């Protein structure tokens, strides 16, 4: 995900959330947003946020929901809903899973933004680069990912999100089985054979 201009994403259009619209409409807005956020983690390919500017409310939620996030040094991240009487409860789902609890709650309770460096320090983004290097760095990560097997990446991504909510024993039991399943994939065997033969793997995709 990327954007043009000084704002990465400012979240919902507040005009859609006024009393001119009914409860059914408001529910549809938030349900659609939640569906998009969960789909990001369900689709089999990695999703990268390329952030150059301000990401607020559902925009901040979007960054937190992506698999990887690269930000320019000028980027900022905030959940300012509390300041207009609409607490960022749905963004809190993604924030609470990406940030330490006390950092997430400070953002949610105050609406104050995190700088790009603070976001990096707390794990909301994976990398911070100068603005003129943002495109290059994002493409570098994308290209590196594209060198891997699509089926292996899909299996790995799905497994990561399954295990992250499990207790340690359950997670190891499940991922042990997945490692065995991974070996049954054509690309699982191709990768091992290529490594042994000291050649580049040819993925099936």
Structure tokens at 160: 């990561």
pTM: 0.85
Q: Give strand pairing partners of 54.
A: 7, 76
- Contact criterion met (CB below 8 Å) for 38 and 20: no
Structure tokens at 44: 């089999």
Distance CA 202, CA 19 (A): 57
pLDDT tens-place values along the chain, 205 residues long: 555 555 555 554 555 555 566 567 667 777 888 899 999 999 999 999 999 999 999 999 999 999 999 999 999 999 999 998 889 999 999 999 999 999 999 999 999 999 999 999 999 999 999 999 999 999 999 999 999 999 999 999 999 999 999 999 999 999 999 999 999 999 999 999 999 999 999 999 7
- What CATH homologous superfamily does 7-146 map to? 2-enoyl-CoA Hydratase; Chain A, domain 1 (3.90.226.10)
* β-strands 7-9, 48-51 pairing: unpaired
Residue 17 phi/psi, 5-degree rounding, is -105, 10
pLDDT in tens, 111-146: 999 999 999 999 999 999 999 999 999 999 999 999
Question: Which residue spans of the chain are classified as CATH 3.90.226.10?
Answer: 7-146
Domain 149-197 has CATH 1.10.10.10: no
The burial class, CB within 10 Å (0-12 / 13-18 / 19+), for 42 is: exposed
């Amino acid at each position: 995900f990327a954007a043009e201009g000084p704002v990465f994403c400012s979240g919902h259009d507040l005009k859609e959330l006024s009393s001119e619209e009914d409860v059914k409409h408001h529910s549809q807005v938030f349900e659609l947003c939640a569906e998009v956020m969960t789909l990001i983690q369900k689709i089999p390919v990695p999703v990268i946020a390329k952030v150059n500017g301000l990401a607020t409310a559902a925009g901040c939620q979007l960054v937190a929901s992506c698999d990887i996030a690269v930000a320019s040094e000028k980027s900022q991240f905030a959940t300012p809903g509390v300041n207009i009487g609409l607490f960022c409860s749905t963004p809190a789902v993604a924030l609470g899973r990406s940030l330490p609890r006390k950092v997430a709650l400070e953002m949610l309770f105050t609406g104050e933004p995190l700088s790009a460096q603070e976001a990096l320090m707390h794990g909301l983004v994976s990398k911070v680069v100068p603005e003129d290097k943002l495109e290059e760095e994002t493409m570098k990560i994308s290209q590196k990912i594209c060198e891997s097997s699509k089926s292996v990446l899909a299996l790995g991504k799905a497994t990561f999100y399954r295990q992250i909510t499990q207790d340690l024993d359950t997670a190891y039991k499940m991922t042990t089985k997945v490692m065995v399943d991974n070996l049954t994939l054509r690309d699982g065997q191709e990768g091992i054979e290529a490594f042994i033969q000291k050649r580049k793997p040819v993925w099936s995709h």
